[in-house]
A and B are shown apart, each in its own frame.
Chain A
Amino acid sequence: MSDGRGRALAERLGRLRHRLRESIARTGRIARWEVRRSAGTVDRKTVIALAVMLLAVGTAGFSAADDGLGLEREIYVVGVDEESRYYDVAADSDQFRPVPLADVIAEHDGDDIVVHGDATVDIVVTRDGRIGRVGENGAAAYDEFRTAIETYNANLMADEEDHAAAYPVSVTLEYRDRDDPRSAASGADGGDETGEKTGAVDGSSGTGDGESAADDAGGDEPFQVPAIGGGGSGSSTGTPGSIAPPFPFTSLVLAFLFVVPMNFVVQAYGSTIMDERVKRRGELLLVSPASRSEIVAGKTLPYLLGLVGVVVAIALAIEGGPVAVAAALPIALLFLAAAFVGAMFARSFKELTFVTVTISVALTSYTFVPAIFTDVTSIALISPLTLIVMDLQNEPVRLGEYLFSTGPFYLSAAVCFLLGLGVYREEDMFAQKPIPAKVLDAIANRVRGSWSIPLLSILFLPFVFASQLLSVALLFAVPQSVAVPLVVLAAALVEEIAKSIHVYAGVTRSRFDATLRTAAVVGALSGSGFFVGEKLTHVVQFVGLPELAVGTAAFGPAVSSEPLILGAVFLAPLALHVGTAVCSAVGASRGRAGYALGLLTAVLVHVVYNLGVFVLVA
């Protein structure tokens, strides 16, 4: 290599470094402005008002912490005399309001209970000790009263001297993996409890040594009052009432803590982006030497760093590990990215509020619902929150699992920022258009020539993937006969939209001619791009999702090993995607109604194909 070329290269590198440093400096300056301006607008009276409110709420909350919100207080009325032995049950229970029997019952003989005309009562305890139901809610009230009697009995027993007589049954619950016999597996909760349980199993394997069970609960200490439900994290030994299904209740609530602050931060973040668009304020920054990506990066950075700080603080407080932080990060990124796009599209603060609330609700449920099934099925892994729950339960998280559950989040966030950046310019920012038109604008901005079409098809895949996973997760508890058709329909609809929306945007914004030939070419490109991208989603097979029938419905069956079938399985989807994409593209070139018609046809073809495959395999 000659000296001159080397020097030129070094010079270019130096210039690049210089430019990079300048870009970072500009981004940093905008970030500093953002922080200073936000801190500046929080004036003293707001702080004082907030402090007063928090103080009042804290005092009220603290004083009411013992008896909860009291949502169910006295919602049922029970007619019972004070002499009745059930009177104390009604008086002790929160849900019941006792009224004297004479006030509600006119007469009763045998099984007939006649209530006073104007009396409202749900159940009555007659003088001979029978419990009768009145009215529509009588059955529900009766059921609750039964539970109240059980609670009352449990409290009664807690006061007894003779514990052995009061708690005559002790239960030890242990879980065992059937595929790996003789291994005493971990129980409902990981952590130190596992050790204790395993020890108990080893200590008394096979022999009927009952005392070890009692010893586990802490020698001769009285048993706890059975906490039915909610006690998922209780010890494995106790009264029959205290055993509970494996449900990571505590970890789930703690994991939810990570999502709560994100909902607040995106409100402020959306406001600051929207502020730029009110009264053309953003114009000042746009004419500055900073590029739009630097502006957006600078405005986003403080909020991202703030969220990272909050996440780390929460992780430290609830003793989560680095995995918890790493899993919370993509959630935070997607929250910010979605809020950014929302703020770029909204026409007014009102609209922005609804857009951010929609984002909050959708993302919170998308992360929260699957995490409920953490211990039950691998579907739970579609949410990064599951990783946090696993981390809090001291379960190891593999790299593949991390990529599977966070990948769609990272990619979706990137695509959102990309789309939003495209409209971060003078002619789009200050134009008032309905949100759908803005979405089309943003997409059309990224359509440059026919080769961008397959690329966009691939870029939309994270959304397709995420929405299909969500439909699987939502319909997973529903009976299969209902769930499978619904999932097939949802999958087809989402895929067809992802394959055609950018074609439609391109046609309506005059990026393509509305001719049949262009439509066919563009449609074919879009379909094959989608096909290539979809092969990536076969990652799902690594986590065994196709074992579930609903999973197969959404993602297609597992690939067979025979070459002929393999070929068919490989090529059939290509034909399908190209065919349906051309169909909707031709529709798109004929305007809005045409697009709707083309899309409908494409979805129908897709559904029929998917059902056919599903029937063929299953």
Chain B
Amino acid sequence: MSRDRDPERTRDSSRRGPNPPTRPDDEGESGSTWGARWAIARRELRSLRSEKTILLALAIQLFIAAFSSFLVVGLVSLYDPGSIDGDRTEIAVTGTDTDTILAVANEQAGVTARRYDDLERAHEAFDRRNVSAVVEANRTDDGRLSARVTAPEGDLQTSVLVVQLRETLTEVERIERQRNADAGRLERTPLPLPSSIQASPYVGFTYTILLPLLCFLPVFISGSIAVDSLIEERQRGTLELLRVAPLSLADVIDAKLQALAVLAPLQALVWLLLLAGNGTTIAAPIALVALVAALSLLVVTAGIGIALWAPDRRQAQLLYATATVGALVAATVLPEHPANTVAKLAIGNPTATTWGLLVGYCLLAVGAFAALRWAIGRLDPDSL
């Protein structure tokens, strides 16, 4: 160890500097400090590149995004009657009061309703697969319409069929309700429903789930790398070697922190470009990247702090994961959840609270960073 320090000592003793050396950033030396810092940051990034971890990280994020999109698109198309165009569903309607149901169902896209006078015959048609479902509608004594629906069990079409029937029967309910309201049986009239239009069902998902996910995952991963990187240097003893560099411990950690904190906003930028390329408009990309940068600085700082404080990797990772997940849950007490802030900035409807929180995150990140520097300055490097 002492041999490693020799060159540094001779250099320092020629200047009669303090021993052990303090941060040499006071006079004229700042150029070389930046060079050394840059070297450490480069070393950090190079290890990520050589291990291909950054590729793996991107692949994981892409997979999670694709996976959640797959789930949503798959489920929506599974339950979306529009997804099986051309395949008309035949419904048998029987019972004593069928007029409204017949009229509504036949107006609905993809559904054909036919009246059967006899329930038995309707069920026979159902069993022969001539009709997909049987609806038996009767008027009860208190004026209600009772619909008994028989649907085939357990196949893919059933989901779509049930959704179609739900739409039909909800429309029937609306008409009946309006009739009751006109007859004065209701105290308050339900509001008229505007006509339905063709709208993408994925807009809400994209802005409120996918985009926050893609903004927060890089942050989480950067913090996790920071924890691992520092704990590993401590456990392998290479942090001690790094201290022979003409930098203080705080500078070494700073360089690591900055290298990792920059990664997250860069990744977020890539995701935003990718989404924009796919036709999702991002209203305030600069604000979003700034938000990710602030959160990234905050989380990486926290990760470094945990890595300096915890005794080994298992505990450091446990504390880090609990802290980040916990912070996401605890953030619900804020006037806006960070994910909601992301959604509002992206969709273009930010409020004063949104901007206030963005500034707040930036201040918090800088504050945490300053606090970490102060703490490292007071830390005895030999205790690590």
Q: Identify the A interface with B (CB < 8 A).
A: 38, 41-43, 45-46, 49-50, 53-54, 56-57, 60-61, 63-64, 69-77, 85-86, 89, 95, 97, 120, 122, 130-131, 135-137, 139-140, 142-146, 149-150, 152-153, 156-157, 159-162, 164-178, 181, 185-186, 206, 208-211, 213-214, 239-241, 243-247, 264, 267-268, 271-272, 274-275, 278-279, 347-355, 357-358, 361-362, 365, 369, 372, 375-377, 434-435, 474, 477
Contact = CB atoms under 8 A, between A and B. Distances in A.
A71 B211 CA distance: 11
A140 B204 contact: yes
A208 B143 CA distance: 14
Nearest to B123: A181
Nearest to A67: B332
Contacts of A77: 349
A322 to B, nearest CB: 25
Interface string B317-335: 1110111011001111100
Given A71-B209, A351-B51, A353-B225, A56 B326 contact: yes
Interface string B128-172: 010000001011111111111111111110111011011011101
Given A140-B199, A146-B196, A350 B159 contact: no
Given A74-B351, A348-B47, 10 more contacts: A53-B326, A56-B326, A60-B332, A71-B208, A71-B212, A75-B343, A75-B344, A140-B203, A185-B154, A208-B95
Interface in B41-83: 47-48, 51-53, 56-57, 59-60, 63-64, 67, 70-71, 73-75, 77-79
Contacts of A146: 193-194, 196
A194 to B, nearest CB: 12
A45 B315 CA distance: 11
A169 B177 CA distance: 9
Interface stretch (B107-115, B229-237, B286-294, B371-379): B229-237
6 contacts: A46-B310, A69-B337, A72-B343, A76-B347, A167-B173, A210-B140
B173 A271 contact: no
Contacts of A244: 162, 166
> Which are the 7 A-B pairs with shortest beta-carbon distances?
A240-B169, A210-B146, A64-B332, A140-B203, A168-B176, A245-B159, A165-B185
Contact of B173 (A70, A71, A168): A168
B138 A279 contact: no
Nearest to A175: B153
Nearest to B68: A365
Contacts of A131: 194
B190 to A, nearest CB: 4
Nearest to A346: B51
B191 interface: yes
A405 to B, nearest CB: 18
Interface string B206-235: 011100100000000000110011011001
Contact of B71 (A164, A347, A369): A369
A73 B336 contact: yes
B308 interface: no
Contacts of A241: 166, 170, 173
A210 B349 contact: no
Contact of A149 (B140, B191, B318): B191
B207 A75 contact: yes
Given A146-B194, A353-B228, A74 B349 contact: yes
A70 B337 CA distance: 7
B313 A349 contact: yes
Contact of B154 (A69, A173, A246): A246
A352 B200 CA distance: 40
Contacts of B4: none
Contact of B311 (A41, A161, A267, A279): A41
B215 to A, nearest CB: 13
Nearest to A139: B199
Contacts of B51: 347-348, 350-351, 434
B314 interface: yes
A174 B148 contact: yes
A348 B229 CA distance: 9
Given A56-B326, A161-B187, A175-B158, A170 B145 contact: yes
Contacts of B318: 46, 50, 264, 267-268
Q: Is chain B's binding surface mostly helix, strand, loop or mixed?
A: helix
Nearest to A272: B314
B198 interface: yes
Contact of A160 (B52, B79, B136, B187): B187
B340 A164 contact: no
B8 interface: no
Given A174-B149, A214-B146, A376 B154 contact: yes
A279 B235 contact: yes
Contacts of B191: 85-86, 89, 149, 152-153, 156
Nearest to A244: B162
A135 B145 CA distance: 41
A267 B228 CA distance: 12
Contacts of B48: 350
B106 interface: no
Contact of A70 (B53, B63, B310, B336): B336
A150 B167 CA distance: 12
Contact of B313 (A120, A275, A435): A275
Contacts of A144: 204
B158 A245 contact: yes
B1 interface: no
B127 A350 contact: no
B128 to A, nearest CB: 9
Contacts of B70: 369, 474
Contacts of B347: 75-76, 137
Contact of A169 (B57, B150, B169, B337): B169
A380 to B, nearest CB: 11
B142 A245 contact: no
Nearest to B139: A210
Nearest to B174: A153
A71 B337 contact: yes
Interface centre among A77, A89, A349 (most CB of B within 10 A): A349
B348 interface: yes
